[in-house]
Amino acid sequence: MMDLWQYEKELYSKGINIIGGTDEAGRGPLYGPVVAACVVLPKDFELEGLNDSKKLSEKKRNLFYDYIIENTIYGIGIIEAEEIDKINIYEASRKAMISAIKEVQKKIPLEYVLSDAMPIDIDIPVIPIIKGDAKSMSIAAASVIAKVTRDRLLYKIDEKHPEYGFKNHKGYPTKKHLEAINKYGLIKGYRKTYGPVKNYIENGKC
């Protein structure tokens, strides 16, 4: 079984102690922001079962979220759909991560960052780790914070626009979501450069 502390331990062994893990949620949806989190774990942090947030049930994610925010230092970055359309989702994800990192830096002087695959140009060293949310405890914690934060934003939107079903699909292009777009049109928050939304606009339906 993989040691989720392997990257952190290697840095600890070099005298590097303040390590942030960063990850994002929401690259694929047609609607809503991309959300990133950066989390600094204490060395004695324990949370059995923590790994990539996508592999956790929603109930467990919410429990883990509460535990993580109570026992870590964290920051959150949010980039809205309008800006995603301007700079593309890759750059928006990077910008959200940098924003989350800067939020942490207001609280504690970060020495190193572990990111989920994303190269980040900041003034401290960064190690991009492919599938980092399944290989690093810090990134896994950030994954949970980012995912739950984004889901809760979509629940609030669902309360205002229940006809779209955001609480179920979280903005992803499911069949029912696409049917809702065709029936009700677009509301503020859709990513207009994304295929199904772009096609809807180009076909003169809004």
Tell me the per-residue pLDDT of 3-31, one tens digit each, with 9 for 90 and over. Answer: 899 999 999 999 999 999 999 999 999 99
Tokens of 186: 């677009």
Which domain, by its residues, includes 35? 6-161
User: Is 203 a domain residue?
Assistant: no
User: Is 200 a domain residue?
Assistant: no
In angstroms, rounded to a whole number, what is the distance separating the alpha carbons of residues 66 and 180?
A: 33
In angstroms, rounded to a whole number, what is the distance separating the alpha carbons of residues 203 and 206?
A: 8
User: Is 178 a domain residue?
Assistant: no
List b or e across 119-148, with b for residues whose CB sees 16 or more CB atoms inside 10 angstroms.
ebeeeeebbebeebbbbbbbbbbbbbbbbb
User: Is 169 a domain residue?
Assistant: no
User: Is 196 a domain residue?
Assistant: no
- The model carries a pTM of 0.96
How many structural domains comprise the chain? 1
pLDDT tens figures, 30-87: 999 999 999 999 999 999 899 767 788 999 999 999 999 999 999 999 999 999 999 9
- 80: how many CB neighbours lie within 10 A of its CB? 14
CATH no. for residue 136?
Answer: 3.30.420.10
User: Is 170 a domain residue?
Assistant: no
Compute φ and ψ for 139, nearest 5 degrees.
-70, -40
User: Is 86 a domain residue?
Assistant: yes
User: Is 134 a domain residue?
Assistant: yes
